[in-house]
Amino acid sequence: MNNKTPRTPFSTPLSGSVRETEIRLRNIFSGPKKRPPALFLALVFAMCIFCGNLVSCQVAEVNESAPDRLNDSQTPDVSLDLTEHEPAWVTYLRKDPNLSGEELKLLETLFRTAERVNGYKFQTPTAQLMDYVQKDGWVLGAVFVEDHLENTLILGIMDKETGEVPHAIFQRSCHAGVPQVVTFRGDDGLFRLLYTFNGQENGQLDGQAGVIRFDGEFMAWEWPVEGDARYGHEPPGASLAAFSEYEAYWDNHLALLAPGGLDVYTVNPDFAWGKADGPASMWQLDHNETFYYDSSSAEELPMPIYFQSLKWLNETMEPEAGWRITSLIPNEEKCDAGKRIDCYTLWAHTDNDQNELTVDLYFPYEQEGARRSYGSLERAAFSDGEDFPSRNEEKQDSAPISSQADKTDKKDDDWDWVDKWDEEWEKEQEAKQIAEYQSVGVTMDGKDYYYQGQLVKIFLDQRPNKSVYTLNQNPAGTVNVKILRDAGGTITGAAYLTAAEAAELAELFED
């Protein structure tokens, strides 16, 4: 069910602040203020007439190049050349101080193409090149435009030789929108561009996201739909299905950038506009999507480290601000092997990058051989060891005991899917890992490893960041073996451990 309120550019979004709302209402109902002197009014009236003449002349000049906004009878003029009428107030930002002339050309070209397609100029724009990828003389770029009422994300492909944009661009606008853009190369060697573009609608986050495959002159969406989501009307040689499915998906979903991909949220059925005792955010976590390797991703971290950390972040900080995990790594100095507690340092940001957080999270575990099974988050603390305060501590202290118990049970029920997802995920990963090992000559029989038919004594599989996938010892084994992985974490082969490596690992088992 879609509980989002209708969006209109002709309304002013209300702040979530009770104080600000009270001030607005007081101003509306306070009645007329004291009338100024008649002489002052006459002077103002005369100035308005004079300025009106000046404005009418200026508008006539602007209309020769482009209308300010489209009306029902106007259609975008894609042949309109706005370069000759560049407004003096446009500002091009360089995210990288070493941005080249070619990069600046891409930024300006996509910006001007958006104005030509729209048929009107941005008002007081600041344009920034977020990122880009190149292939075979073509370049796919992402441009962010901050403007007076709405911000805009522009995605398009430019011919590097001619400086032209031969195909339609993709653009979305929203109030207070801020994009996040990541480029990466897939297993097929092609570049991808992942983007999120979220803004505010009536105090709630709202936006879109996608993963685009770039193969040179053309681009296509791979997620959340497959196909070309640019065309809403009579797409040339394409189907309307991708556009319609894309728009429908974001009617009731929200995506926040996460390590290696996205955390995807759906509308919380318990949320209702104006419900004081309901959830503050209209969104609840649905699932995670991983598109590229990141040591902090949900796919790479031991279960349930990532989702327990995200749960804590959403319950402790203001969920309506869109807090997202940017990094989650082991903190070896604060781990306690004696108490069997591991520490992970969490870095998080709000989706608009205006706020950040660093906190240490402690997880208990059970050890079985080299395998660790983690329990739920035990505590959160600042870097100096002081416990991190809960956002709901005061409310829970003052609430009736029965009410507190009901809310605790409800929260536990809301996250039951995580435990179920953990079990299913572990089974899938175990099957995947066995298949990958077999491809390089390593087989398993229960907890025993074999390499080319030989029982393995010490078996090591290490991530590129030196953290361990698997470390196993069988004193009856005759060979010591390690798995080889590339920088992206993909298995490339297997090899024997050197004598020094085997001795160092043997000491670790003795300890």
One domain for residues 401 and 496 = no
CB 158, CB 142: distance < 8 Å: no
Nearest 5°: the CA angle 389, 395, 397 is 85
| 457 domain residue, yes or no | yes
In terms of phi and psi (left: phi > 0; alpha: psi -120 to 50; beta: otherwise), the region of 493 is left
One domain for residues 409 and 464 = no
What percent of the chain is predicted at pLDDT more than 70?
71
One domain for residues 407 and 446 = no
Helix boundaries (H) for 92-184: 101-118
Q: How many whole angstroms separate alpha carbon 366 and alpha carbon 344?
A: 16
Q: H or E stretch including 39?
A: helix 38-63
> What domain range is 322 assigned to?
305-426
One domain for residues 362 and 421 = yes
State the total domains in the chain: 2
Listed residues 426, 457, 491: the one ending a domain: 426
Query: Can you tell me the mean pLDDT for 62-70?
Result: 34
Listed residues 426, 457, 492: the one ending a domain: 426
Query: Can you tell me the mean pLDDT for 416-433?
Result: 65
Query: Can you tell me the mean pLDDT for 476-505?
Result: 89
| 419 domain residue, yes or no | yes
| 72 domain residue, yes or no | no
Q: Which of 29-38, 426-435, 469-478, 495-504 has the lowest mean pLDDT?
A: 29-38
Q: H or E stretch including 60?
A: helix 38-63
One domain for residues 422 and 444 = no
| 295 domain residue, yes or no | no
pLDDT at 383 over 80: yes
pLDDT at residue 431, as a whole number: 81
pLDDT at 265 over 60: yes
Half-sphere exposure of 274 (CA within 13 A, CB side): 1
The whole-model pTM stands at: 0.64
One domain for residues 375 and 457 = no
Q: Which residues pair with 204 in a beta bridge?
A: 201
Listed residues 394, 426, 458: the one ending a domain: 426
Q: How many whole angstroms separate alpha carbon 465 and alpha carbon 296?
A: 10
One domain for residues 413 and 447 = no
One domain for residues 417 and 453 = no
One domain for residues 468 and 422 = no
| 380 domain residue, yes or no | yes
One domain for residues 407 and 447 = no
- Give the 3-state secondary structure of residue 232: coil
One domain for residues 465 and 501 = yes
Confidence of residue 433 (pLDDT cuts 50, 70, 90): confident
On average, the pLDDT of the chain sits at: 78
pLDDT at residue 165, as a whole number: 94
pLDDT, tens digit (0-9, with 9 covering 90-100), for 80-123: 343 433 443 456 665 556 678 899 999 999 999 999 999 888 98
Could you tell me the two tokens for 370?
Answer: 């080299």
| Closest to 119 measured CA to CA, from 79, 76, 84 | 76
| 168 domain residue, yes or no | no
| 452 domain residue, yes or no | yes
One domain for residues 341 and 405 = yes
| 484 domain residue, yes or no | yes
pLDDT at 356 over 60: yes
pLDDT at 480 over 80: yes
| Closest to 192 measured CA to CA, from 204, 182, 177 | 182
